Structure 1
Amino acid sequence: MPSPQDSLFDPVQAPMPRHRLFFALVPSEAVRVRISDVAAALRTQRALTGRWVRPARYHLTLAFLGDHVSLGDTLLASARSAGEAAAARAAPFVWTADRVDSFRGRQPPCVLRGESDVRALAELWSDLRRELARRALDAHVDRSFVPHVTLAYAERALPAPVMLEGSVEWPVDALELLHGEAGHRDYRTLGHWRLGR
């Protein structure tokens, strides 16, 4: 039987969370290329240095569901049910991004931003949040919403927003449940729902 001293010097460590789960909007290939061009222009102009997000990972987060040691069937079923319900009541819309800005942080995220008052986007976020709350899955969901796409984690924040010469027009017609796993480079889609269907 281990002594109390053994437990002090050889603690049993809990498993580390490996699975990140969140709802997001995912751009089409054409929109992904346009966003990638915006990021490439920033790099060329040396307006920003830091760790750049790969285009395959571009997304606009709507609701973060936390980091988990494992993904149980109950969690996934509840999340999928919430996503399906919110998407069914939503209508397709266009989100327009017209600037690059920085958020605060040790490695300030450099983000693509635009219209935050798109009614259909705000309603989708609000409805999804309600559906998650009904299923007790809203513990990590922010109480406010600033739509953005992260382009890089920078060495320093931009001194001021950079306005784009041409805006990014993003037609949105689907909601996705994404899964990120530690050690894997890409996100995996665990749910995909067309808006209004």
Structure 2
Amino acid sequence: MTPMAAINDHGALPEGEQGCRDFHGNPPTARLFFALWPDAALCRSLLPLVQPLHGTLAARWIKPANYHITLAFLGAVPQACIPPLTALAGGLPFAPCELSLQRLECWPRAQVLCLTATPPPALLDLVSGLNTVAGQLGLPVEHRPFLPHLTLARRVRRRLPPQAITPLAWPLRDFCLVESRLNTTGSSYTVLQRWP
């Protein structure tokens, strides 16, 4: 494991280092991702949109307390990698901005129902920074274009046409690192840290 002190002033690992995934044996890991996590008020504001669909669409509905938008999925991260990960993420600039949820979409391949939005430039900059941090530590990096989406339901069996909704403004003031634990009913989430 490369100690935090070994990360240079530019946030990069020294030449020749393999990053946090270069371990001997099987170190303990945590399944982590960076996310936007809405407050209770925003979750409540989604209920008039979501509740009418419960009776007409067979799916596994996400609990409002678990609503989020994934910014960067990291997968199984060695526990020893978490301190430098949080240190680098905490150093990223993040300008408060607003995300407007505007469309209800069903993605048949993934079998999810979600709300989508066009990302503001400040959010794109943050996602780019988080992927840079992940790459510096030898963690997975997403190369596909970032499309913000808040998943409402999984295992959706019936395809729905995309539809515009009354735009829902989400003021973005922070982002977080989240641990995901799989269980028999899906996933449970623990917010490990928030920034700024």
Assess same fold via TM > 0.5: yes
Of 88, 96, 103, which residue of structure 2 is paired with 1:99? 103
- Where structure 2 has 5 or more consecutive residues not aligned to the other structure, the ranges are 1-25
Q: What root-mean-square deviation, in Å, do the aligned CA atoms of Structure 1 and Structure 2 show?
A: 2.2
Compared CA separation, residues 20 and 37, structure 1 to 2 (3 A):
farther
**Which structure has the highest helix share of the two?**
1
Of 77, 80, 85, which residue of structure 2 is paired with 1:79? 85
Letter in 2 for 1:66: G
Shift of residue 104 of structure 1? Answer: 3.4
Compared CA separation, residues 76 and 95, structure 1 to 2 (3 A):
same
Shift of residue 171 of structure 1? Answer: 0.5
Distance 1:131 1:18 in 2: 18
Q: So what's the TM-score if we normalise by structure 1?
A: 0.76
Shift of residue 97 of structure 1? Answer: 0.5
Of 31, 40, 44, which residue of structure 1 is paired with 2:42? 31
Compared CA separation, residues 140 and 92, structure 1 to 2 (3 A):
same
Shift of residue 141 of structure 1? Answer: 2.8
Q: So what's the TM-score if we normalise by structure 2?
A: 0.76
1:147 aligned residue: 148
Distance 2:98 2:75 in 1: 28
Distance 1:142 1:50 in 2: 29
* SS at 1:91 equivalent: coil
* SS at 2:147 equivalent: coil
1:182 aligned residue: 182
* SS at 1:49 equivalent: coil
Letter in 2 for 1:113: T
User: How many residues end up aligned between the 2 structures?
Assistant: 167
Matched, 1:110 2:113: yes
Identity %: 29
Q: Is the 8 A contact 2:182 2:188 kept in 1?
A: no
Letter in 1 for 2:38: P
Q: Is the 8 A contact 1:82 1:131 kept in 2?
A: yes
Q: Give the number of the structure with larger relative contact order, counting CA–CA contacts within 8 Å between residues 6 or more apart.
A: 1
Shift of residue 82 of structure 1? Answer: 2.9
Distance 1:130 1:19 in 2: 20
* SS at 2:113 equivalent: strand
